[in-house]
């Protein structure tokens, strides 16, 4: 179908190393106006391969093309005959033979055969050969291994005294755990709002008076180590309203670890339920997203001035008048702009490609291509991978709680140092697809992915894996023994362990158990030590370090402040080191956008990839 001129022929031009007698098929399109030309397998039995519904398949085909108007196209056969199924990806121009690969995720019910190949929708010449279809091997359940290979999970005997939904690591090593009403309408009606501070060393909990319902607020660590809280819950849904029609609050407080108390700031300009807070290079805080006082999506962008500890008026903040969704994953980049990864909470992604570059200073937004399944990124995980200097971000999994359809295990990675950045497929997360994925940067520069569920607050997935950015691969590990979904969170501790809290399934119960993951590096012999480090450092400073062990690198890690699989301020920043033996020097980056001011955990890493315990350093 379409208006174009097409000629086809067999060609002897094939990839180097092809089997003797191999041929390719060439098609030339000219006078193109509409339609396409397809080089796909014949749709006859014995040629178009058989497939099994529910199974996934990797496809590949070698091609050359003089144009970029190509797509890797799939047709499916059912009892009703053949029909178009999908375009798996677009393919660039390639003068040399190139292998195009993609994955067909979960063959639909009723499909017994597929035909795939390359379609050309424009003037140009396309050649293809060497078609391949292979079933995706199901990831076997993790085999219990030695802790030096897979780490170890422990479930503490002590349980949480509250529904810990908002978790922040304080600069003294304790954790601020906030419930507010804890998603309990009865507690909201009674005005019972709670928070505690937990000391993971002594295992003590300190009750903190809470002045309003901070349930579903946004939060971030400020340059002075206080924790800013903004927005939250002004009203629960009425009986005749939907489950996600909470009314937002405009209140704002900060928590001061020096006196274990909340202190009020000026109110936000507007109300926000589920806002994201991202710290900027000057220490101020950008905020947007969530529902307003009418339980409608707010389009208001806000800015917190840390010098006055107050929110700026609306006309002092560049406004996009765009709804960013609820808890949008918005990361600060090294040039001061931001990247919205496409991960969020509740329902479909944003219109367009689902991911965006955003200059908050001019209120300009640009779509970024390549994100797969943008409407299955509800409560996905997002994280910088490797040092933040690499400007690479990964999005993992996600679902769609509004549609309650099975979650995905797709992983996409973007290199934001590229002149025209775009998501590229990454290695699929081992195991079934899942939302509610807790991602944590570890000091050995790997990423822990744990917890999650296939459906809206149900169908817990017991799987976990470690991602290695250098190898671009996952390694399965034993899962958290506790099933965790909605309102779960993970926090890296200064000693290198990870504490995991909460789960609030569909019956609105809550799991008060605390899991602690000890990564493999804690079982690989003597750890290097950081014997001396400065308490404070400035941008561009060269600082002196005392170390023991065969130290090869150093890094600073931001203390995590997580809720709803969202921590847009988490990052690991590389510190170039010099010297030998016990005396080393490290240089602090001179770019505050890489390293916004505040407290950081400084660690050193030895040649075996084992990190030291952290020491706190204030960057300003």
pLDDT given at position 141: 55
Residue 591 belongs to a domain = yes
The whole-number average pLDDT for the span 154-178 is 98
- For residue 545, what is the domain's CATH number? 2.60.40.10
Residue 208 belongs to a domain = no
Q: Is the pLDDT of residue 505 over 90?
A: yes
Angle made by CA atoms 287, 255, 182, in degrees to the nearest 5: 75
Count the domains in the chain. 2
Q: Is the pLDDT of residue 2 over 90?
A: no
Q: Which of 77, 107, 135 is the last residue of a domain?
A: 135
596 phi/psi in degrees, rounded to 5: -55, 150
- For residue 122, what is the domain's CATH number? 2.60.120.260
The whole-number average pLDDT for the span 560-585 is 97
Instruction: Please indicate whether residue 80 or residue 503 has the higher confidence score (pLDDT).
Output: 503
Residue 487 belongs to a domain = no
Mean of the per-residue pLDDT values for the chain? 94
pLDDT given at position 21: 79
The whole-number average pLDDT for the span 89-107 is 91
Q: Which of 45-54, 280-289, 305-314 has the lowest mean pLDDT?
A: 45-54
Is the whole-model pTM more than 0.75?
yes
pLDDT grade for 138, boundaries at 50, 70 and 90: low
Q: Is the pLDDT of residue 53 over 70?
A: yes
Smallest CA-to-CA distance from 59 within 99, 15, 19 is with 99
Q: Which of 90, 110, 135 is the last residue of a domain?
A: 135
Q: Is the pLDDT of residue 64 over 90?
A: yes
The whole-number average pLDDT for the span 104-128 is 92
pLDDT given at position 497: 98
List b or e across 213-226, with b for residues whose CB sees 16 or more CB atoms inside 10 angstroms.
bbbbbbbbbbbbbb
Angle made by CA atoms 104, 108, 113, in degrees to the nearest 5: 75
Residue 369 belongs to a domain = no
The whole-number average pLDDT for the span 77-99 is 92
The whole-number average pLDDT for the span 294-302 is 97
Q: Which of 135, 166, 181 is the last residue of a domain?
A: 135
- Number of other CB atoms surrounding residue 274 within 10 Å: 28
The residue range of the domain holding 101 is 5-135
Q: Is the pLDDT of residue 439 over 60?
A: yes
pLDDT grade for 142, boundaries at 50, 70 and 90: very low
Residue 16 belongs to a domain = yes
The whole-number average pLDDT for the span 499-515 is 97
Residue 47 belongs to a domain = yes
Cβ contact 619:534 at 8 Å: no
Cβ contact 412:385 at 8 Å: no
């Amino acid at each position: 179908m379409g208006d174009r001129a097409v000629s086809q022929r067999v060609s002897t031009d094939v990839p180097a190393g092809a089997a003797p007698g191999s041929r390719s098929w060439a098609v030339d399109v000219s006078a193109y106006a509409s339609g396409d030309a397809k080089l796909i397998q014949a749709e006859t039995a014995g040629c178009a391969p058989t497939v099994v519904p529910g199974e996934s398949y990797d496809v590949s085909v070698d091609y050359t093309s003089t144009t970029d108007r190509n797509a890797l196209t799939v047709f499916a056969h059912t009892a009703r005959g053949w029909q178009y199924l999908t375009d798996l990806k677009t393919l660039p121009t390639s003068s040399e033979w190139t292998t195009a690969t993609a994955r067909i995720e979960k063959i639909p019910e009723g499909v017994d055969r597929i035909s795939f190949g390359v379609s050309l929708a424009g003037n140009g010449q396309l050649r293809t050969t060497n078609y391949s279809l292979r079933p995706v091997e199901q990831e076997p359940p993790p085999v219990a291994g030695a802790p030096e290979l897979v780490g170890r999970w422990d479930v503490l005997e002590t349980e949480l005294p509250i529904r810990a939904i908002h978790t922040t690591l304080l600069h003294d090593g304790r954790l601020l755990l906030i419930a507010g009403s804890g998603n309990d309408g009865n507690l909201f009606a009674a005005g019972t709002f709670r928070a505690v501070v937990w000391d993971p060393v002594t295992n003590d909990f300190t009750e903190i008076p809470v002045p309003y319902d901070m349930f579903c607020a946004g939060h971030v660590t400020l340059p002075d180590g206080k924790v800013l809280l903004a927005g939250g819950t002004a009203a629960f849904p009425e009986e005749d309203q939907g489950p996600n029609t909470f009314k937002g609050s405009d209140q704002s407080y900060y928590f001061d670890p020096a006196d274990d108390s909340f202190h009020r700031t000026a109110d936000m300009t507007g109300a926000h339920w589920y806002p994201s807070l991202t710290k900027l290079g000057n220490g101020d805080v950008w905020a947007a997203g969530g529902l307003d006082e009418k339980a409608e999506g707010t389009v208001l962008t806000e800015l917190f001035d840390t010098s006055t500890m107050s929110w700026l008026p609306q006309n002092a903040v560049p406004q996009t008048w765009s709804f960013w969704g609820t808890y949008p994953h918005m990361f600060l980049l090294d040039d001061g702009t931001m990247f919205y990864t496409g991960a969020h909470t509740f329902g479909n992604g944003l219109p367009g490609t689902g991911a965006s570059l955003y200059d908050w200073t001019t209120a300009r937004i640009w779509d970024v291509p390549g994100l797969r399944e943008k409407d299955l990124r509800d409560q996905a995980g997002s994280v910088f991978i490797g040092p933040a200097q690499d400007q690479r971000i990964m999005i993992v999994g996600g679902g769609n709680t509004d549609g309650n359809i099975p979650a995905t295990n797709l992983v996409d990675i973007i290199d934001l140092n590229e002149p025209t950045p775009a998501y590229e497929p990454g290695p699929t997360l081992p195991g079934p697809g899942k939302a509610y994925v807790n991602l944590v940067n570890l000091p050995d520069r790997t990423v822990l992915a744990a917890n999650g569920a296939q459906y809206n607050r149900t169908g817990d997935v017991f799987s976990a894996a470690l991602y290695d950015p250098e190898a671009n691969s996952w390694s399965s590990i034993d899962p958290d023994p506790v099933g965790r979904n909605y309102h779960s969170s993970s926090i890296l501790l200064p000693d290198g362990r990870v504490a995991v809290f909460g789960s609030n399934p569909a019956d609105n119960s809550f799991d008060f158990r605390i899991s602690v993951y000890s990564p493999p590096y804690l079982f690989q012999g003597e750890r290097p030590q950081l014997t001396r480090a400065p308490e404070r450092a400035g941008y561009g400073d060269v600082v002196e370090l005392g170390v023991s062990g065969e130290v090869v690198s150093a890094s600073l890690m931001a203390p995590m402040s997580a809720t709803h699989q969202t921590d847009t301020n988490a990052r690991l920043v590389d510190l170039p080191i010099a010297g030998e033996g016990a005396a080393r020097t490290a240089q602090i980056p001179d770019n505050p956008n890489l390293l916004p001011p505040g407290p950081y955990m400084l660690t050193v890493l030895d040649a075996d990839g084992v990190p030291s315990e952290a020491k706190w350093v204030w960057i300003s």
